[in-house]
A and B are shown apart, each in its own frame.
Chain A
Amino acid sequence: MIERSVKDNLPVRELITGSESISPDTRVSILAERFYNEPNLDSLPLVKNGHPCGLASRGKILTTLAIRFGFALYGRKPISVIADTTPLVVHTDDTLNEVLGQAMARSFNDIYDAILVVDDEDKYVGWLSVKRLVIEQGNFLAKSIVQRELAISKAVEIEKLDKMKTSFMAHVTHELRSPITAIVGFAELMQMRFARQQLEDFPKYLSLLSSSSQNLRSIVNNILDLSKIEAGRMEVFNEDFSLCELLSEVLETCKMLVGEKPLSIEVDCPDPPATLYGDRIKIHQILLNLASNAIKYSDRGIIVISAKMTDELQLTVKDTGIGIKKTDLQRLFSAFDQLEDAKTRRHEGTGLGLNITKQLVQLLGGRINVESTFGVGSRFDVIIPQNIQNIVQEAS
């Protein structure tokens, strides 16, 4: 038996939060339903023949379902297909400190997941809540107030992140479903009208169908990009390309985005035309994200897109739009965050554009800067160290 006097070495068997489990063969749809209906249910261990074989956690399951248009693809599959198959598993005799150490060493996205506890025969005994362990440890460390506060603030921090992800989920769900809904509706309506040969509204329906699909495409692309970046799977691919050609491609897309708005777009290309060695696709995406924001958040005026080459590549997008409040500037680049309240927003979007842009810029070794006056306009500057990257690339 462990000595009770060594309190922070408490064996985790005394800290087990629950012992519920489900079979790995449970259908995704059934589990998703449970997560919807039981807001306090965070995760469920998967157990087969008494042995733990995975963990289904609320956030990850619901996110997967949303990102991949879930139910259609996964609804009938067994939960083991999308669950975490390598959860943290510890022994009943392991101590609080050891276990927390292991939990905290996991990647940020996994830290919060439940930990499974097994006995001598590797049979499932129950699960531990990391949140609870952290608080428990804080209590045991009461002699050092500082340490305790540190532990608790960590728990609060994790909780905050979790909340943000939940609201992001709700938001993305709406952004994805809105265009899908329109597409389904128009398809159904056209089918009905076609059967009666009432074709007069077709051109209008088709154009809305097409714009809804494009809207959906860009949202899906954003979500996939972000997942790729977060998984560390976004790679840099350098090639030779003409900066001016790139700018005129961006200009073409922008003209489409402007639509009926009284907005003019100017492109300022370096003279003489420069050939660049770099990641063309990412630079294109960076410019387009900034330019599409400039268009989206301006009702009138001029948007200037310019590029300058020194020993660095300097890209600037300037608009005369709604501008950004000083107090909002900091939040601008965080994912899951939009300046307008989701339910009363005037503009569509996932709030991922700038976060992706910033991560792309960083991936290219550059930096991004913003200046803005509320009600007047904004200016985004991106600087990418051109030559350095050249040398590094050519040397390797």
Chain B
Amino acid sequence: MQYNRPARNVQGVLMSSTMDMTDITKAFTEASDALGEGELVKDADFTLFESVGALEIMDPKMDSGFLQPGETLYDNFNVSAPLTAEQVVWVMDELFCYEMAWHKGYALLETLYTSVHLDNLLHQELSRARKARKATKSNKSAKDVSIDDVCFRAECETDQAGTEPTQIMLIHLVLRAYCLGLLKCCDLTIRIITSQMYHEEEDFVSQTFNRDLLSEHDTQEIYGFIQSAYRWLGSTGASSIPDKVRAALKDRLFIRQDFLGALEATIPDSNAWRPNRFGAWRDLQRFASDVGSQQQIGQPVLAAFSEKIQRRFSSNTPPRPIFKLTYREAHRDFDHMLESIGEACQLYELPKTSDCALSLLRYVWAFADKSPATLPRAIMQTVLFTEGQVCGRLDFPFERLLRIDLRELVLAGHPLISKSTIDAETSSDPGFRLRQLLDDFIKAAYEPYFKMYEALCQNRCRIRRRLTHIIGEFDSLQDEAKLIDRKVHTITTPESSQGRWPETDSNYPLHSWVSHHKHAMTQWVLQLGFEHDIYEPDELGIMYSVLSQVQAAQLDSNLRIGHFAKLRYTSVPDVDSYERVICGISCELNTVLGREFAVTSSLTGLLKTLYGFLDSLGTLSASSRRYGSAQRRFELRMKALQGCTSETFDFDTLNNGLRPDRGLVDDNFQNWNAVIESTLKELQEVHENISDQPVFRSSKEQWKKQDQLLLETVRQISERFRFLREACKDAGITMIGEGSLKGKVDVIIPPPGTHRIHDWWVVPEVIFTRAVNDVQDHKHSS
């Protein structure tokens, strides 16, 4: 088969008097004809990146300017043409759907820029800006940012003599105001998102393709337009519009105005008056969700949107397929987005949350758990990272959060933060040296700690990938922590401190603190692996074993931390002192953490046991894999935990640990049942009798939900065991390791999403094989 060269079209070359052009077509054609078929001429820098970036001109799939024979570049839609009120509602709804698609990560070109109305306004804005720049150059004092020029202007003015005034107002006042508001919302959205960490293309496309989304115009000015449109709709001039339609138009303008206002108040560096930001977002959510649930009354004007518009943009991407959400989907996304933004902004209203680092971290995790869209994630970063104003609190640098975290977990009552250390003035004072040491540590820990929070504000896939690296940074920090701990220890031992501090700190508090966070992140990375469905059915057992090992290390370090926290608590002489309160909180916090670690560890153990048992019954063995080996695959798995050098994960040990003890099936079941019972009990009690300290208060709701999910998960595990017990009985299997259920029962791994009670805890479905056909529908993988 011959490779056909695409037809070359060298006609219509651009010429300009200021350019000196040489036509190289002939030379080029001759040179390329001298090449053999398939021969590639490239320099060493021509990479896959370049080859993937190349576009073939005149290939309709790649060349966005390519016109089919007879095709024109423009559609003939007149933006000034009268529309009925119902049609205006429809255009607004379509715009809203495209806006939400853009928020989802699709480019403006394939979403909002398909609107003929927006295209027209953006075009007017472009010429306005150009005129304004010219005027400034020639020193004319033009009012250069007036938005008055940004209005619908048809290519050729049509005679509007016969048009009713109402229809003129609907277009030139109502729809225009809506469009201006929408464009400004996009401008602010881009500003908020790009001021924070996000991934271009993956999360969001900020590119505006050489159009300016009214960035030079003040939000107030656009507000003014929306308000006059709103007022006009209530006036007699609009009385010919049916009530229902008028209300629909007003609702849409209202949402637009409030969205704009809420965005403006959320801009990190804006001087805008900041009303209750949380309230503003919540009110908007309530109202928008009401409107979204109403019957759609718009009447389509299909010609108001055109796929062709993107062709006129200078773009080096192939033409993109238009992406659109339905009205329902768009509202659902909007609702979810507003909910998450509300959660982020709620931190402004909960100053006590940032008084407690661990509860703040938990809050951010709960926020991240709902997979918020990019804008809420950027707003969360604004809330957390605005310079010196964590959660909107004045004089609250992010570093303070780190100090609080250290105090809560490991340093309450410790000489490192004691009053005499803080007050030490002369360099001969040991307290002075201690303070320096703590500062050294803070300096080293700041970045990894900050990154941990920042990671949680990324998309779910990125969270896992980023944490993988941050674990490594904590790992390196741990050595430094140990060094500082030692130095601290030599200063605070009784001999050198002349009895100034009690001997309670032969532990390594900073080292323990690093270890705590490192182990927590290691668990998250593993758990996110379950959530992302990356493990194969026959790996689940060993992955839960790995998790179990990390949890054991975590629990171990928690016990040590808790032990010293208690020692310090009891050695505070003054029972009414602030220090004593701080120590008390730290003790309680560590106790609660310990209970949480213990209970998740039991749950992990149960799943590990279940998978081990299923494997011993021959129900999990995967069909043979042609390449690689179990060892190699395990090595690959452990790559994600490579940063955690303090743990070694040994395949054989973990694998052997998965095998249930030999012996009677019934005996094992009895043991497992006992574990299930005790886990259920642990779960019921894990968050009982906890004081009402602010440290805990904001977490209580979350705990309740979380514990409920875990309880259900354990009950589900219990059902599986019961099922297997019956199945073993049926099959006459009485001894572990003797007999198989292969071919008798099937194991189905439910995919993440709606099929698991909690995405992090994968409880397999187990069914009798003959029933398989009945459940084909939700058979996912086995």
Q: Do A and B bind each other?
A: no
Residues on B lying within 8 angstroms of A by beta carbon are: none
Residues on A lying within 8 angstroms of B by beta carbon are: none
